[in-house]
Structure 1
């Protein structure tokens, strides 16, 4: 008998109840990008899919491909990211990453880099070595880089000089020199913040979570990225309602 099932590696982005006992899953996979899969009976207490049909579950999913969706038959979960549940605040950062990916990743379009970024970012959230706000800022800027909408940080967007780049234009999406900042609204940023953004944009995902920042630089970095996302994406992520209780004190 021929087995027509597919085995895809990925992470569950969201899970919604369907009918009396089933769940509708959104899974970001390595091989096929974001897909929709139904986990039949996943809300029954003794069903084999109960533990696997939840957000953050990362592993291999065996699926049957139907005309309009997939049906989950088995799952081999390698990481449940259970430590995120120990702190409600940290969990919301994790949900934000999943929501961010769900917004950007298209169905059936391969996006391996985003999957790698989510996995590494969730691991960083679980680590006591990193401030959640730093993990968030790194995730956001790298995600924008993957999607091709990150700001230009390596030369002035006006004259292309690489000297004295201490002004940032949200509207024009990039760094600006002293000469070119005239007649446009800019935010002054430190060399340390610029270097950090350059590092995040250019570095491999596996090397992203290897540094720490002072509170002052982290505040500045977080503020600039937040303003950039608010202006260029203009989408309200529900998970931010709790995260954004933090107050940014950076002044333009």
Structure 2
């Protein structure tokens, strides 16, 4: 019997494979980004069907194949079902997953990025936190985790905006979403985070194109 491994993670991508399977990309705490196949997950009633959905967070028991893992079972702690009830939240969440897929690497510790993704999806479901703010906090902190950022905003900004930047850069992930910005400071914060994103992240995200159309 093949040896299994149990990893904590979230499904970033779920795509059909063959007639009945799904190819999954998971961000895991222990091994970073991995590819796994959920055999039979597209068959009605298959126990792997629910855990093969994007946003599914929990523990995944897998065994290693030659070039990928194979999903044996899972214990899902959070499906983030609430995101599907709001088109805008769904688009923001899909963007977060795509960014996490871009930044994550195989066989690397994925703890901080996974925590950031989890907390940011929770922020999208919190009506007191504007989605615009959740997006920019997520973008800036993901750049910090990846080691590509500046300690201060890339151009002169107000004291309030500078403080928000410093707070995101220096705070633990669990404490990120504990502030709200006034409209003028929010626009300023958006501008400098966007400037940094364009400088450090040389990649076009498909989900961002959809999000920008949706949010105007």
In structure 1, the residue matched to 2:179 is 211
Q: State the match for 2:159 in structure 1.
A: 191
**Alignment TM-score, normalising by the size of structure 2:** 0.96
Report what 1:121 is aligned to: 120
The equivalent of 1:96 in structure 2 is 95
5+ residue gaps, structure 1, are 154-167, 170-186, 248-252
Deviations 1:184-221 (A, max 9, x none): xxx44111111100000000011101111111111111
1:3 CA drift (Å): 5.9
How far has the Cα of 1:49 moved from its partner?
0.6
- Tell me, in whole angstroms, the C-alpha distance in 2 between the residues paired with 1:49 and 1:199: 40
* Cα distance, 1:107 vs structure 2: 1.3
Runs of 4+ in structure 1 over 6 Å off:
none
CA–CA separation in structure 1 for the residues paired with 2:200 and 2:3? 43
- The aligned residue for residue 106 of structure 2 is 107
Matches within 5 A, 1:164-179: 169=154
Q: How many residues align?
A: 215
Partner of residue 224, structure 1: 192
Measure the CA separation in 2 of the matches of 1:234 and 1:144: 12
Are 2:70 and 1:68 equivalent residues in the alignment?
no
Counterpart position of 1:236? 204
- Give TM-score scaled by structure 1 length: 0.82
Secondary structure at 2:180's aligned position in 1? coil
Separation (CA, whole Å) in 2 of partners of 1:216 and 1:100: 27
Distance (whole Å) between structure 1 residues aligned to residue 16 and residue 88 of structure 2: 24
Deviations along 1:21-76, one digit per CA (max 9) or x if unpaired, are: 10000001111111000000111111111100011000010101112110001011
Q: State the Cα deviation string for residues 151-209 of structure 1 (Å, max 9, x = none).
A: 121xxxxxxxxxxxxxx54xxxxxxxxxxxxxxxxx44111111100000000011101
Quote the Cα distance in structure 1 between the aligned partners of 2:183 and 2:51: 38
Between Structure 1 and Structure 2, which shows a larger proportion of helix residues? 2
Greater RCO, 1 or 2 (C-alpha within 8 Å, sep 6+): 2
| Structure 2 CA distance for aligned equivalents of residues 81 and 23 of structure 1 | 20
Secondary structure of the equivalent of 2:108? coil
The CA distance in 2 between the partners of 1:82 and 1:75, in whole Å, is 17
Q: Which ranges of structure 2 fall in alignment gaps of 5 or more residues?
A: none
Distance in 1 (alpha carbons) for counterparts of 2:150 and 2:156: 15
Shift of 1:232: 2.3
Per the alignment, in what secondary structure is the counterpart of residue 62 of structure 1? strand
2:8 is equivalent to residue 9 of structure 1: yes
CA RMSD of aligned residues (A): 1.3
